[in-house]
Chain A
Amino acid sequence: MTTNEPRWLRRGLIALALAFIAFFLLLPLVAVFVEALRQGFGAYLRALQEPDAWSALKLSLLVAAIAVPANLVFGIAAAWLIAKHDFRGKALLVTLIDLPFSVSPVVSGLVYVLLFGAQGLFGPWLIEHDVRILFALPGLVLATIFVTFPFVARELIPLMQEQGRDDELAALTLGASGFQTFLRVTLPNIRWGLLYGVLLCNARAMGEFGAVSVVSGHIRGLTNTLPLHVEILYNEYEFVAAFAVATLLALLALVTLALKALLEVRHGDALAARARH
């Protein structure tokens, strides 16, 4: 093309962009693995076999196993509502659903402390009935649900809006019930977008730090998710152990990225077209 930048400039810009990404993105990622293996592979494996690390992993998986399906159901319901019906206040509803995105993770945890903490709204009632929300699993789950609330919805809403209502209307005219229509017509259409949303939701759910940090109480072996466990190890100067556990999360991130890229390449047309995030 005769109206392009001169080749030297192009090369220079590419080099600059690559250097920027390598320095700011790649380097930290590499550092996680290098630091984890600083004392050799043996020490790395031992750190991963610590019982506290295992509890943290199990807890993270458990929290995600509750939070992700919860937001999945919500995302489907909200997307069905918004994409297949007309009503006033739709824009407002979408904005409200997006709220958790614009709130700091710490504030996300704060709101539950204000509700369920010792001095919170329900604090006295909870103590009276010996129900633990904060510093226990329910608190962690709630905070995680809050933080990952919009993920599935944000993926499904534009996708289902793009896909329109014709397919569903056709099914209805042929006698299908609402539920049948959803199951047999809508679901197959949105399955890749759904998977995509679940993928992102899960990555965030397992990796969330700020919000769960506030509600967790940091009780070792009980209320520490993987990211919190990393923090504890690090603060105790157990650097190799901290990085070792961090590699698990980093691997999760890489797998998430790979699956994400795979979905975009294979089924890009079945995902929402507008820019996400």
Chain B
Amino acid sequence: MPGFGLTLGYTLAWLSLIVLIPLTGVFVKSSALGWDGLWRVWTDARVLAALKLSFGTALAAGAFNTVFGTLVAWVLVRYRFPGRRLLDGLIDLPFALPTAVAGIALTALYAGNGWVGQWLLPLGIKVAYAPLGIVVALVFVGLPFVVRTVQPVLAEARRDIEEAGATLGATRLQIVHRLMLPALYPAMLTGFTLAFARGVGEYGSVIFIAGNLPRVTEIAPLLIVIKLEEFDYAGATAVAAAMLLLSFALLLAINLLQARLSHRAGGLR
């Protein structure tokens, strides 16, 4: 097939120019700091708080999305009801809607005088300008990931597996719990991972609703931006490096878990 040399050269060149070389800049700059320098930044209280907040809220939102995203996928695949098609199309909204738009909309909803916020405030629940608000924003952003990874697996599910379970005496609950869910766990985990990874790095939809108080509601990406504005390139890079390394480690762990799960599960096929 012709075109190998041309496309290989172009692809590698473009890839290096746009992605690889700029990304290595992070590592070059980080190594310029040396481990001491990096460690000093990483153990700074403000940085630690930001990292904990970013990863913690992403975890919470990811978990929440895994449960409800699976529910939504289940309902979309298994049931017929008016508006199902519309609902299915709407799931991708967070992919299509710019994060800044989501950010201001969510803030309008959950601020103390907002549509939803005004009902929650008397109950003592503060959403906007609190970590809970960050979680809400990340739920919005990460929702499609879980739904879209679980949906195809559910769609492939074989009816005769369920029927087999019924003939053997299993109740509906036992069928769902022992036969169907185990096949979904790998997909749910993948969806969680994608939502989590997205949530850790999310910026636009969070900075409006978060409040951005250092050490309280300041996410790591925002800290990077602040450091850049202060011309603390080194500090910004260090935080970025921390995010990249931590994400990489977590994703690796999840992938290993995934591999083990997939090996045992077989799916409903």
A–B direct contact (CB < 8 Å):
yes
A residues with CB within 8 A of B? 1-6, 10, 13-14, 16-18, 20-21, 24-29, 31-32, 35, 74, 77-78, 80-81, 84-85, 87, 93, 96-97, 99-100, 102-107, 110-115, 117-121, 142, 145-146, 149, 165, 168-169, 172, 177-178, 181-182, 200, 203, 206-210, 213-214, 226-228, 230-231, 234, 239, 242-243, 246, 249-250, 252-254, 256-258, 260-261, 274-277
Report whether B26 and A29 are in contact in the complex, using a CB–CB cutoff of 8 Å: no
Instruction: Compute how far the CA of A157 lies from the CA of B1 in the bound complex, rounded to whole angstroms.
Output: 16
Interface string of B47-72 (1 = CB under 8 A from A): 00000000000000000000010011
Interface status of B33 (Cβ within 8 A of chain A):
no
Q: How far is the CB of B85 from chain A (nearest CB, A)?
A: 8
B residues within 8 A CB of A104?
A: 200-203, 221, 240, 243
Report whether A243 and B104 are in contact in the complex, using a CB–CB cutoff of 8 Å: yes
Report whether B97 and A250 are in contact in the complex, using a CB–CB cutoff of 8 Å: yes
Closest A residue, CB atoms, query B86: A261
Report whether A214 and B98 are in contact in the complex, using a CB–CB cutoff of 8 Å: no
Report whether B139 and A24 are in contact in the complex, using a CB–CB cutoff of 8 Å: yes
Report whether A13 and B14 are in contact in the complex, using a CB–CB cutoff of 8 Å: no
CB contact between B100 and one of A29, A80, A209, A261 (< 8 Å): that residue: A209
Instruction: Compute how far the CA of A22 lies from the CA of B258 in the bound complex, rounded to whole angstroms.
Output: 31
Report whether B101 and A227 are in contact in the complex, using a CB–CB cutoff of 8 Å: yes
Instruction: Compute how far the CA of A73 lies from the CA of B93 in the bound complex, rounded to whole angstroms.
Output: 27
Report whether B225 and A13 are in contact in the complex, using a CB–CB cutoff of 8 Å: no
CB contact between A106 and one of B144, B152, B203, B251 (< 8 Å): that residue: B203
Report whether B145 and A277 are in contact in the complex, using a CB–CB cutoff of 8 Å: yes
- Give chain B interface residues in 175-204, CB to chain A under 8 Å: 175, 194, 197, 200-204
Interface status of B231 (Cβ within 8 A of chain A):
yes
Closest A residue, CB atoms, query B24: A111
Report whether A105 and B204 are in contact in the complex, using a CB–CB cutoff of 8 Å: yes
Instruction: Compute how far the CA of A97 lies from the CA of B18 in the bound complex, rounded to whole angstroms.
Output: 10
Report whether B208 and A110 are in contact in the complex, using a CB–CB cutoff of 8 Å: no
Interface status of B130 (Cβ within 8 A of chain A):
no
A114, A200, A250 — most chain B CB neighbours (10 Å): A114
Interface status of B75 (Cβ within 8 A of chain A):
yes
Q: List 17 A-B contacts (CB under 8 A).
A: A1-B159, A5-B172, A17-B72, A17-B87, A18-B75, A18-B83, A21-B72, A24-B140, A32-B104, A78-B15, A81-B11, A84-B3, A107-B221, A142-B18, A209-B99, A260-B92, A275-B151
Report whether B23 and A111 are in contact in the complex, using a CB–CB cutoff of 8 Å: yes
Report whether B23 and A246 are in contact in the complex, using a CB–CB cutoff of 8 Å: no
CB contact between A203 and one of B83, B91, B96, B247 (< 8 Å): that residue: B96
Interface of B (DSSP majority class): helix
A80, A115, A234, A260 — most chain B CB neighbours (10 Å): A80
Instruction: Compute how far the CA of A100 lies from the CA of B22 in the bound complex, rounded to whole angstroms.
Output: 11
CB contact between A210 and one of B72, B143, B203, B243 (< 8 Å): that residue: B203
Interface string of B8-29 (1 = CB under 8 A from A): 1011001100111111011001
Of the listed stretches B36-44, B105-113, B120-128, B259-267, name the one at the interface; the rest are far from the partner chain: B105-113
Report whether A253 and B247 are in contact in the complex, using a CB–CB cutoff of 8 Å: no
Instruction: Compute how far the CA of A178 lies from the CA of B175 in the bound complex, rounded to whole angstroms.
Output: 54
CB contact between A234 and one of B10, B87, B104, B202 (< 8 Å): that residue: B104
Closest A residue, CB atoms, query B105: A28
